[in-house]
Amino acid sequence: MPVDMSVTQQEDLPRASSQECSPGVLRRTVEDFMVEEILPLEPTGDGEHVLLQIRKINQTTADVRRSLARALGVRTNDIGYLGLKDKRSIASQWLSVRHGQSVELPRELPMKILRQCRHSRKLRPSFGCTNRFTIVLRNVDPQRVHAESMRVVPNYFGEQRFGRDGTNVNQALKWVKNGKPPISRFLKSLYISAMRSALFNQILAKRVRDGNWCNPIEGDVVTDTTPTGPLWGRGRSLAIGEAYAIEQQIIDAHPLLADALEWVGLQQERRSLVVCAVDLKVQVERDEARVQFALPSGCYATSVLRECFAYTSGED
């Protein structure tokens, strides 16, 4: 039985802002979406790994890892990363390669090394990082661009988490139903993340509709003064009382997703319901808005933008 695909539809998620949204076109060109990943550690200067700061254009992180592996004659799993970056963007990100010497790339590869240095450990998503965004939206209504609506927003997972047309969730459920046959570690992570993200978004959407998403309620699990929601898995929720009742209401409404996540053996974790766009700057000139801000790892720029812009995706 397929899952109700409405759980993956971003347009069905309520906005926190009561301001009328501006229209806008996002990513009309690849240059309209730029992201810089900030390395969260000081390189050791020696060790068996080479840290590479790569600039990629219109490629996924998976594309980059595969291209590097072929060019350097290493396994894809020998290439570490901090986070996945949007394909339709110009992005600089850090990768680690288990390699005995400095790295030189063939000219034909659609990426550029900005910096390299040696380090003692492989980069992993668990290290965390900050991402700085510079985004241009076109065909906006200047009178309806309200910067303050983007400063503190619901920490929704973005549409990128769910794949084209939101199909990752149903693909994940099919994999579970078939007995979890062997698949790549990357694809397994993708499937699990999609299911977890769908449930989290529904719980957060309920809190946004109720108007209690950004302040703790009775029974909340609080981190750094902000309420959190569950990334579902085995074990009982740490929430109690009113917060637990809200979470359980959503879990009961989506038993296929909840059961699948428990069956794959994950333990529950928590994620903040709230995210702040750090160093937010908005410049509007005629019908173009230039938006700059920084977010912690795992948070989505589109979740910031949707509070101000009812945007559509453009093409070159």
Mapping DSSP to helix (H, G, I), strand (E, B) and coil, where does residue 95 land? strand
Residue 111 burial by Cβ neighbours in a 10 Å radius (0-12, 13-18, 19+)? buried
Cα-based distances in Å from 281 to 22, 23, 137, 193: 17, 19, 14, 31
Q: Find out whether 291 and 135 touch, Cβ atoms under 8 Å.
A: yes
Of 12, 32, 78, 86, which one is the catalytic site residue? 86
Q: List phi, psi (to 5°) of 95.
A: -130, 155
Neighbours of 224 (CB within 10 A): 7
CB-side neighbour CA atoms (13 Å) of 68: 32
CA gap 200, 244 in Å, rounded: 13
CA gap 184, 204 in Å, rounded: 30
Nearest to 226 by CA among 243, 202, 201: 243
CB-side neighbour CA atoms (13 Å) of 242: 10
Q: Find out whether 305 and 26 touch, Cβ atoms under 8 Å.
A: yes
The answer for 128, left when phi > 0, alpha when psi is -120 to 50, beta otherwise, is left
Q: Find out whether 255 and 214 touch, Cβ atoms under 8 Å.
A: no
252 is catalytic: no
Catalytic residues: 86
